[in-house]
Chains A and B, each alone.
Chain A
Amino acid sequence: MISALAGLPLAVGQVGEGFFKERNGSACVEHRSHLFCFEWAREHIGDYATPALQQLELVVISVLIGFAIAFALALLAHRFRYLEPPLLAGTGILFAIPSVAFFLLLLPITGRGRETAIIALSAYTLQIIYRNVMVGLHNVPESAKDAARGMGLTSRQLLWKVEVPLAVPEIVAGLRVAVVSTMAIATLAVFVHAGGLGEKIYGSGNLNFPTTIIIAGVIAIVMALLLDAVLLIGQHFATPWRRAAREATA
């Protein structure tokens, strides 16, 4: 299975024969004198659509899986308090493994491909989301819980109708951090042949060609900011009482 590693798309330092031929037609590429080659960028920007969509898919799927697991773990820790420190430490250790190494360490176990990338990326989101869900649940005011109990809510109703909704701002804050940092790390998915914008950064010869690194990096950053905005808008609609409170005080 280890032989599946052979032929990683990394050809650092040895620019392929066809590298500059593929990029000819643009004087600034041949001379390599420009930091950013607009001419080449205009011609090739279309090539970035597929990797960008692949990467977006990886990030969305990974964050969703990470959220499902982290949220379940947080609810468990909320119910059984003694689970809280070990879960925090466990997710923390996963978070401390350097991203490139994490992807590569999974190779002998899960092989190459999308699944491996998704496992590594969702493992990274666990710590961020778990910690934020816990903080959100901790911060629910005791008075709100008392009021809910006084209205006759069972502990399950209390959790889903009071505690979780009131924790939404912290949960969304965690998701925003998770989405943005996962987008950055997902450029490494290419190390396990899972595609994404990393192809355009670490792919053969690209490391000697700043234009492509810049285009791919900027697309990744812009997509991260867009997802961030989507979550912020989602939060606005998921917490109608906050708007009501603002309108009442205005």
Chain B
Amino acid sequence: MSQALLPHPLFAGFGGAFEFIFSRQTSNVTGGHKVGGIDQVLELALRQIEVSVVALALAMLVAIPIGLYLGHKGVGEALAIGLGNASRAVPELAAIALIAAVVGVGFWTLVIVLAVLGIPPILTNTFTGINQVDRPTIDAARGLGMSEFEILRKVEVPMAVPSVMGGIRTSSINIIATATIAPLAGVLTLGNFIINENVYGANGVLAGAIVVSIIALIFEFALAGLQRRLTSKGLRLQAQ
């Protein structure tokens, strides 16, 4: 099947992985116990999506209000920017591994850790997005009699949408990537195939990597679409 499906020898190695995704196979380790197949793949994929969505929502819930507040007031630049820069240096999978080893495992432990790792890009981008709205624009809004909250809601937030969404997209990539190693924290995601090669074999590892990549790309495209929807018409026209 793999030969017919993917004739080029360069990609022949992927054939087994696709078979693993769609049909159950006998593992040589588990004594005839069957592994893989679309049911198991979907179950693990849904778990990974669940963890990622909850963590991303939590990160947004914390980071966006703080970013809006600091950006509007124009304070805490060192905190907002520094946090974003520093967080890039943290090897996230190692951080998950460490926390699993120290704190223990569980759905909410994992969600909270993923959310914490997801906060810096959103916070930094929300801050810079709001903060970079130029002074004359805000003065004009104030001159029109807008309250501080109206300025934030009607002027600053719409202009910051591309930047904020950029932060959310970065965060979503990081969270999905890091959620791959969630089995270490006791939550069975697609990383289960990747980490337990002794059970699922080389095809399982590759199948896990393929499905994780597809999920990440779906998130990326969905968020890019959402960004276009949320960007005000005026700004879209200006960009063209």
Contact = CB atoms under 8 A, between A and B. Distances in A.
Binding partners A and B: yes
A75 interface: no
Contact of A2 (B92, B93, B195, B203): B203
B173 interface: yes
Interface stretch (A91-99, A145-153, A160-168): A91-99
Interface of A: 1-3, 5-6, 8, 10-13, 35, 92-93, 95-102, 104-105, 107-109, 177, 180-181, 183-185, 187-188, 201-202, 207-210, 213-214, 216-217, 220-221, 224-225
Interface residues of B, number: 47
Contact residues of A: prevailing secondary structure = helix
A180 B90 CA distance: 9
Interface stretch (B54-62, B64-72, B94-102, B150-158): B94-102
Given A8-B197, A210-B98, A214-B98, A97 B89 contact: no
B97 A177 contact: no
B88 A217 contact: no
Given A107-B206, A188-B93, 20 more contacts: A2-B203, A6-B197, A6-B202, A11-B198, A12-B184, A95-B173, A96-B169, A98-B177, A101-B208, A104-B194, A181-B89, A184-B89, A187-B93, A208-B101, A220-B89, A220-B91, A220-B94, A221-B90, A221-B91, A224-B88
Given A2-B16, A12-B195, A187-B94, A221 B206 contact: no
B14 A108 contact: yes
5 contacts: A2-B202, A100-B181, A107-B13, A188-B93, A201-B97
Contact residues of B: prevailing secondary structure = helix
Interface in B6-61: 10-14, 16
B77 interface: no
Contact of B202 (A3, A105, A184, A208): A3
B213 A102 contact: yes
Contacts of B102: 35, 210
Given A1-B12, A1-B13, A96-B173, A209 B101 contact: yes
The 4 residue pairs across chains A and B that have the minimum distance between CB atoms: A108-B13, A98-B177, A5-B202, A104-B209
A217 B95 contact: yes
Contact of B206 (A95, A105, A213): A105
A153 to B, nearest CB: 31
A100 B177 contact: yes
Contact of A98 (B16, B97, B212): B212
Interface of B: 10-14, 16, 85, 88-95, 97-98, 100-102, 169, 173, 176-177, 180-181, 183-184, 191, 194-198, 202-203, 205-206, 208-210, 212-213, 216-217, 219-220
A159 to B, nearest CB: 25
Contact of A105 (B176, B191, B203, B213): B213
A214 B101 CA distance: 11
A217 B91 contact: yes
Contacts of A185: 91
Contacts of A95: 173
Given A1-B12, A104-B209, A187-B91, A98 B173 contact: yes
Nearest to A104: B209
Given A105-B213, A180-B85, A217 B98 contact: yes
Contacts of B195: 10, 12
Contact of B217 (A3, A10, A93, A225): A93
A93 B13 CA distance: 22
Nearest to A223: B89
Contacts of A96: 169, 173, 216-217, 219-220
A207 B101 contact: yes
Contacts of B210: 101, 105
B197 A100 contact: no
Contacts of B10: 109
B98 A12 contact: no
A178 to B, nearest CB: 10
Contacts of B89: 180-181, 183-184, 220-221, 224-225
Given A8-B197, A181-B88, A202 B97 contact: yes
